[in-house]
Amino acid sequence: MITEPQIEHRQEQLYAAIRTAVPIPFGSLLPPLWKEVNEWLKKKGIVFTGPALIRYLTTDMSKKLDVDVGYALEQPLTGDGRVIVDSLPEGEYATLLYIGPYKGKGVYKANVSLIDWAKENHVVWNTAVRDHSEWWNGRVEYYLSDPDREEDPKKYRAELAFLVK
C-alpha cells in the first residue's frame, strides 16, 4: 500500500551513516552497513531511537548510486571518517508512506509513485548538478519497521521524503 503524497515542513534531521556508492540491485549490501553504524553508535554510548535510513545523494541508475546508509539521530555527534554525521536540511518535503515488504519492488514503486505525483502537481525537487550528475539535497527513505521486531513483512513501513524547491 502507498499513501497519498503530501507536502510537509520538516526540521533539520541529523543522522550517522556510512557514505558509499552501490550498484543496483543494492539490497544485500545495506544490512552490513547498518550493523556497522549501529556498532559505532553503541561504542559512543548511544542507543539510537531514530529509524534506519538511506539518503540518496545521486540516483542515476546507469551508474553506482551515491548513498548514506545509517540512522537518524536526536543529538549531534562527531564522525570519524568511516562513519559520518550529516543532516538533512530543514525545508518542505514531499512525503508518502509505503506499507509492505522491503524486498521486491514495493519501495521502488513507492519512489515512482512520488516522482509521478510530483510531475502531475508541478513539484520541483531540490537538486543540483555537480560533475555532470544530479545530486539531491534531500532525498531519504526511512525504514520505520525493524524486521527483527516485526515478523510480518506485509506490515513493514517505510517513509519517503524528498526535499522540494
pLDDT tens profile 39-51: 999 999 987 667 9
Q: Where are the alpha helices (DSSP H) in the chain?
A: 30-43, 106-120
* Mean predicted confidence (pLDDT) in 80-104: 95
pLDDT averaged over the chain? Answer: 94
Contacts of 110 (CB under 8 A, 6+ apart): 2, 96, 98, 158, 160
Distances (CA, A) of 61 to 26, 56, 88, 137: 11, 12, 22, 18
Instruction: Identify the DSSP state of 136.
Output: E
Residue pair 94/88 in contact (Cβ under 8 Å)? The answer is no
Distance between CA atoms of 16 and 42, rounded to whole angstroms?
Answer: 12
Q: Where does 6-163 sit in CATH, by number?
A: 3.20.80.10
* Mean predicted confidence (pLDDT) in 92-100: 98
Per-residue confidence (pLDDT) for residue 50, from 0 to 100: 75
Per-residue confidence (pLDDT) for residue 131, from 0 to 100: 84
Q: H/E element holding 157? A: strand 157-163
pLDDT > 70: percent of the chain: 99
Contacts of 137 (CB under 8 A, 6+ apart): 89, 126, 127, 128, 163
Distance between CA atoms of 116 and 114, rounded to whole angstroms?
Answer: 5
* Mean predicted confidence (pLDDT) in 59-70: 93
Per-residue confidence (pLDDT) for residue 49, from 0 to 100: 67
* Mean predicted confidence (pLDDT) in 113-125: 98
Opening angle at CA 11, ends 5 and 13, nearest 5:
95
Report domain extents, the chain: 6-163
Is 147 a residue whose pLDDT tops 80?
A: yes
Distance between CA atoms of 115 and 92, rounded to whole angstroms?
Answer: 15
Q: Which residue has the higher pLDDT, 86 or 61?
A: 86
In degrees and rounded to multiples of 5, residue 154 shows phi and psi of: -70, -15
Q: Could you give the 3-state DSSP secondary structure of residue 152? A: coil
